[in-house]
Amino acid sequence: MLIGLSRQLTNYFIIRLVAIILTTSVALVTGSGVNAKTTTDRLHFKSYQSNPKRNMKACNKYISGLIASESGDFGSAIDLLKEAVALDPKCTGAMYTLGSCYMYDEDYVNSLAINNQAINVDANDKDLLYRRAYTYVSLFKYKEAIADLNKILTMDPRYDGGRVLRAKCHASQGNLKGALDDYSSMLKDNPSDEENLLHRAKLYTQLGDSQKAIVDYSTLIKFYPDEFEAYAGRADRYFALGRYKDAGSDYNTAILKGTDCYKHCLQQRELCFKKMGKNNQESGVRHK
């Protein structure tokens, strides 16, 4: 029951992650719409624009579609980008942006189809593979997403976001060891990364390694002393090891920091006092 719920939450989190990353990648259009900040979509357009073999009519449709997508008019963007692809079936950049527009419309089937078409033209484009991996995730096809991410990371072991997405796919499939390996790899590059530390601590907890989870939670607290989730997580691990004094202290800190799991921390702190044989008057921390 708990495993099923955990997977549902993970699935929801991954889909939300897709939406968040795609949202933050949209360019901010100013004035005429041509002075947008550089994004991967823009870089693909610039590459096509500078190609001597470009189709000028396709290029015009492409930039119009790109600007429409950046302004949030995904319906118009889809129409324009489809025209660009029809004019030049090898214009993978237009397909790249078209795939993201379909994603915004939650049309994952067409997004996958256009990504497949683009990859048939250029099977080694890491950005195309990455965008298709996101589409697979939206369709809950984690095995296929992992295959694309494996190919990307073979070509570029530090491809931005590749290990994060693969770790989440592994976790959704129940492959906690695979997810742990990816988080550990990323933490070697950046030992103080907040999200990766938190995720690895939770994985160690799921794997039953309380000691290693405590180490990661402690590292989190060292770098991010206001991270209430780290105190609550470490408290649970202390409690599991019978270290009730340490657990009670962390539960109390989590409560004071404004934890989202206030009721859980409060109940667990009460249990810690009972385990230590303390009562209301004996524990000053209890009244904080």
pLDDT, tens digit (0-9, with 9 covering 90-100), for 151-172: 999 999 999 899 999 999 999 9
Q: Are residues 176 and 220 in the same domain?
A: no
Q: Are residues 164 and 63 in the same domain?
A: yes
Statement: residue 273 has pLDDT above 80: yes
Q: Are residues 182 and 221 in the same domain?
A: no
pLDDT, tens digit (0-9, with 9 covering 90-100), for 166-199: 999 999 999 999 999 999 999 999 999 999 999 9
What pLDDT does residue 38 have? 67
Among candidate residues 189, 218, 251, the one where a domain is terminated? 189
Q: What percent of the chain is predicted at pLDDT more than 90? A: 80
What CA–CA distance (Å, rounded) separates 84 from 61?
Answer: 5
What pLDDT does residue 260 have? 84
3-state secondary structure of 80: helix
Joined together, the tokens standing for residue 279 give 């009562």
Q: Are residues 157 and 217 in the same domain?
A: no
What pLDDT does residue 61 have? 98
Around 272, how many Cα atoms within 13 Å sit in the side-chain half-sphere? Answer: 28
Residue 92 is assigned to a structural domain of this protein: yes
How long is the chain? 288
- Name the pLDDT band for 2 (thresholds 50, 70, 90): very low
Q: Are residues 115 and 226 in the same domain?
A: no
What pLDDT does residue 259 have? 78
Please count the structural domains in the chain: 2
Residue 61 is assigned to a structural domain of this protein: yes
Residue 156 is assigned to a structural domain of this protein: yes
Q: Are residues 135 and 225 in the same domain?
A: no
| Range(s) of the domain holding residue 281 | 210-288
Around 168, how many Cα atoms within 13 Å sit in the side-chain half-sphere? Answer: 26
Q: What is the mean pLDDT of the segment spanning 26-44?
A: 54
Q: Are residues 102 and 147 in the same domain?
A: yes
Joined together, the tokens standing for residue 112 give 């996958």
Residue 202 is assigned to a structural domain of this protein: no
Give backbone dihedrals phi and psi of 173, rounded to 5 degrees, phi first: -85, -5
What pLDDT does residue 227 have? 93
Q: Are residues 62 and 135 in the same domain?
A: yes
Statement: residue 17 has pLDDT above 50: no
Asked whether 211 and 53 are in contact (CB, 8 A), the reply is no
Asked whether 125 and 133 are in contact (CB, 8 A), the reply is no
Mean pLDDT, rounded, of the chain: 87
User: Element (H or E) spanning 184, and its range?
Assistant: helix 176-189
Q: Are residues 67 and 15 in the same domain?
A: yes
Residue 201 is assigned to a structural domain of this protein: no
Among candidate residues 159, 189, 219, the one where a domain is terminated? 189
Joined together, the tokens standing for residue 171 give 């976790």
Joined together, the tokens standing for residue 101 give 């527009």
CATH number reported for the structural domain that contains residue 102 in this entry: 1.25.40.10
Q: Which one-letter amino acid corresponds to residue 284?
A: G
Q: Are residues 285 and 251 in the same domain?
A: yes
What pLDDT does residue 270 have? 95
Q: What is the mean pLDDT of the segment spanning 33-50?
A: 78
What CA–CA distance (Å, rounded) separates 89 from 66?
Answer: 17
Question: How far, CA to CA in Å, does 102 sit from each of 50, 60, 69, 201, 269?
Answer: 26, 20, 10, 35, 48
From the list 229, 181, 234, the residue with the least C-alpha distance to 210 is 234
Statement: residue 99 has pLDDT above 90: yes
Q: What's the pTM? A: 0.79
From the list 71, 31, 150, 164, the residue with the least C-alpha distance to 97 is 71
Q: Are residues 103 and 178 in the same domain?
A: yes
